[in-house]
Structure 1
Amino acid sequence: MQDGIRTLAAMGPRDAASPASDRAASFVAARLRTAGYRVTLVPLGVPAGVSWGVRVPAGTTVDVVADPPGFDPTRPHVVVGAHLDTVPQSPGAEDNASGLMVMAEVARMTRRQPGALPVRFVAFGAEEARGGNGTLYAFGSRHFVASLTGAERSAIRGMVALDRVGVRAAPVPVCHVAGADPSLADAIRAAASPAATRACTNKASDHVSFQKVGIPAARLGSVPYPAYHSARDVPSVVDPAQLSRSGAVLWAWIRSLR
């Protein structure tokens, strides 16, 4: 996982409308194809705005959607996602190369040992806010949800977002949206054993797009760290043991599904 984090961080800042974001999407797509998935790049437009104090242009980004062979989106399944982009002044090792690489590793493991429910893995474009006092964000996951048919939406049993999962912390944060049903987050914690995790609430990642339309959703990650959204978010801030812990929590939940 660390090699992938180093590769992504070396691309530099990956604003959603930038060539670097396109390179990141190609890199993640290649990993998922190598793992045995049918990968589709779904383009979407993003507006100009101000991201973390820096003006960013309008443009096009993509969602990278990875489906296992024979996947039927109208049949029961779960979605695991992580966002591709960074704020424009950060190489984003923790935010969010860490989530992308844990996702890619768990995707590889899931292809080798499929569980009872299929898993659809998605690298979402344009999660970072582009204005609106932080409200104009999660464009990729909102586009993904909006494109689902009614049958496809009903088939999703749960969605987990991996966002900032590598900063060292003894327990892995498992968050639900404040005011929403915490059953999915509770199920993840139960599968991993509560000692390995801690409960939290969070309303600032791609899981919110799913929860807003009634799909149970949770987020793994969100440990505070000094390099957040800065040029200092480099691979050294990511702890290999925490990556493994986060991956183990997700894997335990996937294996528990019936």
Structure 2
Amino acid sequence: MLGGIRALAGIGPRDAASPASDRAAAYVAGQLRAAGYRVTLQPVAVPAGVSWGVRVPAGTTVDVVADPPGFDPTQPHVVVGAHLDTVPQSPGAEDNASGLMVMAEVARMTLQQPGALPVRFVAFGAEEARGGNGTLYAFGSRHFVAGLGASERRAVRGMVALDRVGVRAAAVPVCHVGGADTSLADAIRRAAVPVAATRACVNRASDHVWFERVGIPAVRLGSVPYAAYHSATDVPTVVDRRQLARSGAVLWAWIRSLR
């Protein structure tokens, strides 16, 4: 996983409307195709705005959607995602090459050892905020959810967003959006008991939010503050190998527990 993190961070900052984001999408798409998935690129329009204090242009990004062989989106399945883009001043090793590479590794494992429910993997474009005092964000996941038909929405049993999953910590954060229904977060934490410590948290700032807003249970893995956040120092040495492994183990344990 660290090799992929170094490759993505080596591209440099990856604002959603930039050619660098396109290169990141191509890299992740290549990883998922090589694993055996059918990969499609869904264009997503993004507005001009201000990202972490820097003006950014309007443009087009993509969602990289990876489906296992024979996948039917109207049949029960789960979605695992991670965002492709960074703020303009950061190479984004932790935020969010870490999430992308844990996703790619678990995607490979899932095809090698299929479980009871298929898993659809998505690298979302344009998660980082582009204005609105931080409220105009997650354009790729919003577009993806809006494009699901009624039967496809009903088929999604849960969604997990991987975002900053390699920050050194004593436990893996399993965050829901708040409110009464914590069933998915609770199920993930139960499945993880044999493999890693977890902690419950509330987070409304990643790609899981748009799934929850249409009634699909959704959580975020990862949400630990770190000094290099949204800065030029978010380089591969920031990422903790053990926390990457723990985050992947939690995700894998949940996937294997699905019935």
TM range (shorter): over 0.9
Q: Check if 1:154 corresponds to 2:121.
A: no
Q: What SS does the corresponding residue of 1:191 show, helix, strand or coil?
A: helix
2:85 corresponding residue in structure 1: 85
Q: For 1:205 and 1:89, locate their aligned partners in 2 and report how far apart those are by CA, in whole Å.
A: 19
- Cα distance between partner residues in 1 of 2:114 and 2:53: 43
The whole-number CA distance in structure 2 between the counterparts of 1:225 and 1:203 is 18
Aligned residue for 2:171? Answer: 171
Corresponding residue of 1:184: 184
Residue 116 of structure 2: aligned partner: 116
Listed one character per residue, the Cα deviations across residues 43-75 of structure 1 (whole Å, up to 9, x for unaligned) are 011000000000000000000000000000000
Counterpart of 2:252 in structure 1 is: 251
Deviation at residue 180 of structure 1 after TM alignment: 4.9
Partner of 2:230: 229
| One-letter identity of the residue aligned with 1:213 | V
The residue matched to 1:169 in structure 2 has which SS?
coil
Query: 1 CA distance for matches of 2:180 and 2:123?
Result: 24
CA distance in structure 1 between the aligned counterparts of 2:213 and 2:115, rounded to whole angstroms: 27
TM-score (norm. length: structure 2): 0.99
Counterparts of 1:119 and 1:76, CA distance in 2? 9
1:5 alignment counterpart: 5
Instruction: Say whether 1:18 aligns with 2:12.
Output: no
Amino acid at match of 1:244: A
Aligned to 2:55: 55
Quick one: structure 1 residues 202 and 107, their matched pair in 2 at CA, closer, same or farther if it must change by over 3 Å?
Answer: same
Moved over 3 A (4+): none
> C-alpha distance in 2, partners of 1:131/1:98?
24
- Calculate the TM-score normalised by the size of structure 1: 0.99
RMSD over equivalenced CA pairs, Å = 0.8
The structural deviation recorded for 1:217 is 0.2
The CA distance in 2 between the partners of 1:115 and 1:148, in whole Å, is: 23
Equivalent residue number for residue 211 of structure 1: 212
Q: Which amino acid aligns with 2:66?
A: A
1:51 and 1:43 mapped to 2: Cα distance? 20
Paired with 2:180 and 2:56, the residues of 1 have a C-alpha distance of 32
Amino acid at match of 2:183: S
Q: Distance in 1 between matches of 2:20 and 2:181?
A: 37
Alpha-carbon spacing, 1:149–1:251, altered in 2? closer, same or farther (3 Å): same
SS of equivalent to 2:40: strand
Cα drift, residue 179 of structure 1:
1.7
User: How many residues matched?
Assistant: 258
Which structure 2 residues correspond to residues 106-145 of structure 1 after superposition, within 5 A? 106-145=106-145
Gaps of 5+ in 2: none
The whole-number CA distance in structure 2 between the counterparts of 1:127 and 1:60 is 13
